[in-house]
Amino acid sequence: MKNLIKSVVIVIVLIFSSFAQAQTKLPKLENSLLWEVSGNGLEKPSYLYGTVHMICTPDYFLSEKTKKAFTTANKLVLEINFADSAEMTAMQKMAMGKEPLSKLLSPEQLSKLNEILKKTAGITTLQVDNFSLMTVMSLISMKSFGCTDIKLYEMEFIEMAKKRNIQVGGLETVKSQFEMFENAYSNDEMIDMLGETNQEETAKLVAAYKSENVENLFDIVTDKKITSEKTRGIILDQRNLNWVKEMPQMMKKESVFFAFGSAHLGGEFGVINLLRKAGYIVKPVMN
């Protein structure tokens, strides 16, 4: 159960990072999940890597170019430092709701959620009554992959960092991320999102990921009609802006391998474009 909760809550990062507002016309990004950051006074290049957070084991891959870049970095930085035991404890605690869903939701909302759970996961609201809506969302997302043998990219990178004995850091904390998610979504929006999660959409996402098609990935995860402008700004754009304020100081000190959800790479307020605007050279690593 402990490992299940760990996997479930980690994937929340992917689910709730998948929305962005319409962007102005930008130069097309090449097909690569790995991007090198240089210039603007950096002594050594750093790297951006877009993950899908979780994927079925048969679909899991890590290219040689990515492994090579990782071996040159002095530090691994994730959205949240899952190597920190305190963060993991906080994550498992926050997976549980502040109050039971049966008290949090109206009878209409509870009935709608129950139908979605029966259809997508073969369970009822009674079985998840003590979980938060975000945890329920991640459970359904895991089901949408259609497999039980799943790999988590962040955990794979952490194991690689341990083998190299390099430091692991985070751009956010579990507490700040959960508070942000709670402020960004109404209960109705959360339930609507649950109803939109299905294997067909997940299959499209995985196919785009395996082809390293950053543009397609961005289009897939931002093609949503159920999230407000306010929510999209909080969940994706503002986080990217916050990260890009922190990253220069990290990269100035040493070569950093940043790994975060691939939805954060593209778009007007994507990390690639924001770093370019800040004066850095950000180019795809093709081989």
Residue 121 domain-assigned (yes or no):
no
Q: According to the model, what pLDDT value does residue 64 have?
A: 97
Higher pLDDT, 229 or 162: 162
- Neighbouring C-alpha atoms within 13 Å toward the C-beta of 189: 17
Residue 113 domain-assigned (yes or no):
no
Residue 275 domain-assigned (yes or no):
yes
- Enter the pTM of the model: 0.88
242 within 8 A of 32, measured Cβ to Cβ: no
The pLDDT-based confidence of 112 (bands split at 50, 70, 90) is very high
Q: According to the model, what pLDDT value does residue 200 have?
A: 85
Rounded average pLDDT over 251-276: 93
Structure confidence by residue, pLDDT tens digits, 72-102: 999 999 999 999 999 888 888 888 888 999 9
Structure confidence by residue, pLDDT tens digits, 136-157: 888 888 888 889 899 999 999 9
pLDDT at 168 over 90: yes
Q: According to the model, what pLDDT value does residue 196 have?
A: 79
Residue whose pair of structure tokens reads 């959360």 in the numeric block: 190
Q: Residue 228, SS3?
A: coil
The beta strands (E) that lie in the chain are given as: 34-38, 46-51, 54-56, 75-80, 150-152, 167-172, 256-261, 281-284
Whole-number mean pLDDT of the chain?
86
Q: According to the model, what pLDDT value does residue 245 have?
A: 96
pLDDT at 3 over 60: no
116 residue type, one letter: I
φ, ψ dihedrals at 48, nearest 5°: -110, 130
The angle subtended at Cα 117 by Cα 111 and Cα 118, nearest 5°, is 90
Strands 75-80 and 256-261, bridge-based pairing:
parallel
Give the Cα separation of 67 and 62 in Å (integer).
Answer: 7
170 within 8 A of 85, measured Cβ to Cβ: no
What percent of the chain lies above the pLDDT cut of 70?
87
Strands 281-284 and 34-38, bridge-based pairing:
antiparallel
Residue 49 domain-assigned (yes or no):
yes
Q: According to the model, what pLDDT value does residue 184 have?
A: 77
Higher pLDDT, 172 or 6: 172
Residue 98 domain-assigned (yes or no):
no
Which residues have C-beta within 8 Å of that of residue 266, sequence separation ≥ 6? Answer: 29, 214, 215, 217, 218, 272, 273
Q: According to the model, what pLDDT value does residue 226 have?
A: 46
Residue 237 domain-assigned (yes or no):
yes
Higher pLDDT, 19 or 265: 265
16 within 8 A of 184, measured Cβ to Cβ: yes
Q: According to the model, what pLDDT value does residue 4 have?
A: 52
Q: According to the model, what pLDDT value does residue 231 have?
A: 66
Q: SS3 letters for 132-163?
A: CHHHHHHHHHHHCCCCCCEEEHHHHHHHHHHH
pLDDT at 163 over 90: yes
Q: According to the model, what pLDDT value does residue 6 have?
A: 53
Q: According to the model, what pLDDT value does residue 179 have?
A: 81
Residue 65 domain-assigned (yes or no):
yes
Judged by average pLDDT, the poorest of 27-31, 116-120, 176-180 is: 176-180
Give the Cα separation of 58 and 17 in Å (integer).
Answer: 24
**Structurally, how many domains does the chain consist of?**
1
Residue 248 domain-assigned (yes or no):
yes
214 within 8 A of 50, measured Cβ to Cβ: yes
Q: According to the model, what pLDDT value does residue 23 have?
A: 45
Q: Tokens representing 194? A: 């649950």
Structure confidence by residue, pLDDT tens digits, 29-61: 999 999 999 999 999 999 999 999 899 999 999
Range of the domain at 225: 18-83+148-284
